[in-house]
């Protein structure tokens, strides 16, 4: 299942992604050196806990990159609307395009997104129909990383 790559040109959003990546890098390099490895040498932390920390850290950054570059469900410029579904579509007053009823226009991205939840500055992308599960994966791996530490 290949997801199309999608980038949002937003300096504030890229700053947030950069901060998140820096925090991840700091936690991957310095936290184990300061906390995990000394506790491992003392016998308070076992090797599987350190391995679980690195695995969760890896999955966390991979899900961050996937969620920030995945297409959230952006509507095409000229969607083909079946005649039976015309009543479920409406005109967007910002971009003057036809969109499904549960779609919303994102002022940051400048386009309509199917089943848009919100625009997340931490991934610099909208959370919509096509990347909602990637955002939930990011939340899960981040939570598991916090629990492990």
pLDDT tens, residue by residue, 10-39? 777 778 778 888 888 887 888 788 877 787
pLDDT at 71 over 60: yes
Q: Give the DSSP letter of residue 88.
A: G
**DSSP run (H or E) holding 11:** helix 11-31
**Domain membership flag for residue 44:** yes
Residue 18 lies in a domain: yes
* Domain presence at residue 117: no
pLDDT tens digits, residue range 106-135?
Answer: 888 888 888 888 888 888 888 998 889 999
Residue with tokens 């980038």: 7
Examine the residue annotation and report whether 120 is marked as an active-site residue of this protein: yes
Taking the whole predicted model, whether its pTM rises above 0.85 is answered as no
Which residues constitute the domain of residue 42?
11-73+122-148
The residue from 60, 106, 120, 126 that is catalytic is 120
- Mean pLDDT for all residues in the chain: 80
Is residue 107 assigned to a domain? Answer: no
How many domains does the structure of the chain reveal? 1
Residue 117 exposed, middle or buried by CB count within 10 Å (0-12, 13-18, 19+): middle
pLDDT at 7 over 80: no
Residues ≥6 apart with Cβ < 8 Å to 64: 17, 20, 21, 24, 123, 138
84 falls within a domain: no
């Amino acid at each position: 299942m290949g997801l199309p790559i999608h980038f949002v040109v937003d300096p504030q959003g890229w700053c947030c992604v950069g901060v998140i990546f820096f925090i991840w890098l700091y936690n991957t390099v310095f936290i184990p050196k300061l906390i995990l490895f000394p506790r491992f040498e003392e016998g308070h932390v076992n090797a599987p806990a350190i391995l679980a920390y690195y695995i969760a850290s890896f999955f966390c950054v991979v899900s961050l990159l996937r969620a920030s570059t995945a297409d959230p469900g952006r509507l095409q410029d000229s969607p083909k609307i079946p005649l039976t579904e015309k009543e479920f579509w409406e005109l967007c007053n910002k971009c003057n395009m036809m969109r499904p009823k549960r779609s919303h226009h994102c002022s940051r991205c400048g386009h309509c997104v199917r089943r848009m939840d919100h625009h997340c500055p931490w991934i610099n992308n909208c959370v919509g129909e096509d990347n909602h599960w990637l955002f939930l994966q990011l939340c899960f791996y981040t939570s598991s990383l916090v629990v492990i530490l």
